Amino acid sequence: MALDAIYIKALCRELSDILVGCKVDKVQQPQKDELIITFRGAGLKSSGLKSGDSRLLLSANSNYPRLHLTKGERVNPQSAPMFCMLLRKRLSGARLVRIVQPVDERIAALEFEGFTELGDKAYPTIIIEMMGRHSNIIFTEGRMDGENRILGAVKTVDFSMSSVRQIMAGISYELPPAQDKLSLFDTDGSELEALLKSGQTGTLDKYLQSAIKGISPIAARELAFLSCKSDSAIISEMSEEEHFRLSFFFERMKEKIMSESFKACMVADKETGLPFDFCFMEISQYGAAAETVIFDTMSGLLDVFYEKKDKAERDRTRVSSVLKTLSNNDEKLRKKLIAQKDELESCKNRDQLRMFADLLMANLHLCERGNNKVTVYNFFDEESKEVTIPLNIKLNAHQNAQNYYKEYKKAKSAEAYLTEQISLGEQELTYIDSVIEALGRAQNEKDYEEITDELAASGYMKRKRQDKNYKKIKNDKRSSDVQFMTFEAEDGFVIIAGKNNKQNDLVTLKTGKGSDWWFHAKNMPGCHAVILCEGRTPPESVMLYAAQIAATYSRGAGGNVVAVDYTQVKNVHKPSGAKPGMVIYEGHKTAFVTAENGK
């Protein structure tokens, strides 16, 4: 993990300069493995912090354990957990006196000075262990260098869970068992070089990570890259020069750490902008394949890095949830349509039922009760061929005829009903497909919010009002409240397009005027694009641009030739009761344009 012991060392130094001497103002526990401590004090202003920036986040999340100041907002539970209540009781008004890190450990301890209920001095400590699935936040009575009794933890570890180390109230706190690795600060370059030449195998970066305590994969790869111009160099293939270079860069890294010359460096994907790694020093191993960003503070980097990570994870979870809902509805609907179409197929013999009834009524004298069939001449046939009609032996001739009339009427009604239901079902499939397409055009949390609200309004999802700040986006919301996709064309023309079905309705039915031009990919889900003409006639180039936008933000995107229908907005109408984004139009023309992969 990138949050190694060296980065934590830099972080503790930085946070000490800002927070030591400040008092605890608030303690919150928004998640079971997450704390936020808000500090107050004159020292904050001298550090350049604004009001609300003194919120320290401690997270024991197995995937993203961390410690840093945060600007992100969290929703707190209605009733505080017991661990949070314990901290509030013991830490309210307490002053932070020291932030320490045990050498080479991914652990930070916040030592406080306060008073007990009886007025006696107390020295409580919060210890955060940032060690993957073993991460924890532990509250103790006493300092790290003295007797330190555990008062509570976000994750209790008893004897049934671990026979090596327990974390329980009432017992003394002990550091995790020492790793059988070299200490970075007690190892020099020549010693490391000798170890490598003693028959070590595998890649250099993996060896550095496994042999030296507190060094992250990215830092190990960077040392390998600086030494061998490759982040996956093979130890047995290293030259004398590469051994020398490793010794040099290892010593230089140690010097920077000892002198606290850190640089908060984040590495992000050039195309998506999403961060995927960070380090306490500048990173060069990715070259032009990634973007590196240097932050002013170690804490500020972590806040941005994990906020973007959290957002990406929330987006992925949200999209997965919506897709699962839509997929389940799609599957059920398709099964229902298959059954309805099979039933409709069976209704096609209804005319034969009517014919049997008429022939029976005309030949009542030929039917004898108890017979299971009767053969008569079919006067509906030009050649008057004979036809055999099955009979119910329990019924007389007239009753059999009435029974066939009844079956005929039932089949006729069923055919009309099934035809309507199949049409509605196919429209619903088209709508579901359009929502799936809209998910691909969602760009931010508000876009996802609009899609989930749309599905809730259509009965596909249930939306819980989790907090007082929740506001439902109404179907009649004006376009001024919505962020459409906006494009500037030639001669000052503006083209707007919807990201989802609700926005498509607003673009077409609320924002667009009668003389504006409307565009939509033919027979496939996609955006509604409208040229805002303002009384002017758009040139052919603007019309073509609008058609390309409609094609690009549709199912046909990706370099394909797409048919795009276009007409004036006055020719576009929404049928009564139609799903969001569903319209009918007339008087249109069709353009064939190449769609770009613009999603």
The Cα 435–Cα 325 span in angstroms is 11
Radius of gyration, CA atoms only, the chain: 36
Which residue bears the tokens 């790290």?
A: 144
| Helix pair angle (298-346, 445-457), 10° resolution | 30
User: Which residue blocks in 126-285 are alpha helix, DSSP H?
Assistant: 189-196, 204-211, 217-228, 240-258
425's tokens: 């079902």
Which domains are seen in the chain, by residue range?
Answer: 5-153 (2.30.310.10), 184-306 (1.10.8.50), 344-429 (no CATH), 479-594 (no CATH)
Q: Each residue's pLDDT tens digit in the chain (599 positions)?
A: 568 999 999 999 999 999 999 999 999 999 999 999 999 886 665 566 665 568 999 999 988 999 999 988 888 888 899 999 999 999 999 999 999 999 889 999 999 999 888 888 999 999 999 998 899 999 999 998 888 999 999 999 998 888 889 999 999 999 998 888 988 888 888 889 888 988 888 999 999 999 998 899 999 999 999 999 988 899 999 999 999 999 999 999 999 999 999 999 999 988 778 899 999 999 999 988 899 999 999 999 999 999 888 877 777 777 888 888 888 888 999 999 999 888 888 787 787 888 888 888 888 888 878 888 888 888 887 777 888 888 888 888 898 899 889 988 888 888 888 888 998 888 889 888 888 888 877 777 777 788 888 888 888 887 655 434 334 334 444 445 578 899 999 999 999 999 999 899 999 999 999 999 999 999 999 999 999 999 999 999 999 999 999 999 998 887 679 999 999 999 999 998 888 999 999 999 999 998 775 44
Which residue bears the tokens 């999403």?
A: 274
Q: What is the DSSP string of 219-243?
A: HHHHHHHHHHS-TT-BGGG--HHHH
Per-residue pLDDT at 268: 92
Per-residue pLDDT at 469: 37
The Cα 354–Cα 237 span in angstroms is 90
The Cα 581–Cα 507 span in angstroms is 10
Per-residue pLDDT at 468: 40
Tell the burial category of 449 from Cβ atoms under 10 Å away from its Cβ (0-12, 13-18, 19+).
middle
The 10s digit of each residue's pLDDT in 2-57 is 689 999 999 999 999 999 999 999 999 999 999 999 998 866 655 666 655 689 99
Per-residue pLDDT at 550: 94
The 10s digit of each residue's pLDDT in 546-585 is 999 999 999 888 767 999 999 999 999 999 888 899 999 9
Strands ordered across the beta sheet of 275-279 = 275-279, 264-269, 290-295
Per-residue pLDDT at 471: 41
C-beta neighbour count of 70 within 10 angstroms: 20
Question: In this structure, are strands 584-585 and 572-573 parallel, antiparallel, or unpaired?
Answer: antiparallel
Is the CB of residue 126 less than 8 Å from the CB of residue 171?
A: no
Phi, psi of 27 (to 5 degrees): -130, 125
